[in-house]
Amino acid sequence: MESWEKVPGHPVCAADLAVDTFLKRELGALLPSAGWLSEETADDPRRLGKGLIWLVDPIDGTRDYLRGRSGWAVSVALISSGRPLIGMLAAPARGEEWLAVAGQGATRNGERLVASTRSRFAGARVPTDALPKEDSDLVVVDKPNSIALRIAMVAADEADLVATLRWGYEWDIGASTLIAREAGAEVTDAFGQPLAYNKRDPRAFGLLVCAPSIHPDAVDRLSDRAAVLAPQTK
């Protein structure tokens, strides 16, 4: 599979572009009036005037895809007035299809999802490679390369907490955060504030998806670090 780096540390491959082309054609035919924002398409600012946009990451977790691992997914969300209306993840290497519709719950392969209900922060399961010393009271669980699948793990009660302290893009999280929220998880940025979509700058600093009862403790744990890192990582 032909692959290259868009910028150092960010691989892309021919399959990313092929999936992007396919989805843009098919979703555009399905809903011609909707705008488009995708990781692999040049941004068209006309999307800002659209009430609906498709938000797409053709392959989230390209590293796992290139290595023949299963931790990647196709992520598609339909955004309405700045909020996810429909979220879909297809993880064919895992035989998984995830779906959420705002106000109607979330499913994986047709089975309804109920997110983590953990009430104690200590011992929370986190999909990561390793934890820093200050987070040694948390528990490492398997980490797919796809951030969307890691967020979905909270929706499926396979993890209790997913957090990032970096700038990320809307297309990485649009579908999966709706899936998590519809399953009952709490979803905010790293400072505990709501997320917004179809912004002029399609980035946000930090992400926090977790069991609702541990959200205040998670914000307390992360907010000071986030305040230090946020202006440095644009």
Residue ranges for the binding site for Mg(2+)?
39, 57, 59-60, 172
CA distance 141 to 91: 19
Question: Which residues lie below 8 Å from residue 129, measured CB to CB, with a gap of 6+?
Answer: 140, 143
Q: Are strands 10-13 and 35-38 parallel, antiparallel or unpaired?
A: unpaired
Distance CA 209, CA 185 (A): 7
CB 154 within 8 A of CB 115: yes
CA distances from 177 to 73, 100, 184 (A): 14, 10, 11
Query: Where is the binding site, in residues?
Result: 39, 57, 59-60, 172
Reduced to 3 states, what is the DSSP secondary structure of residue 45? helix
Q: Which residues lie closer than 8 Å to 62 by C-beta, 6 or more apart?
A: 3, 11, 12, 13, 16, 72, 145
* CA-derived radius of gyration, the chain: 17
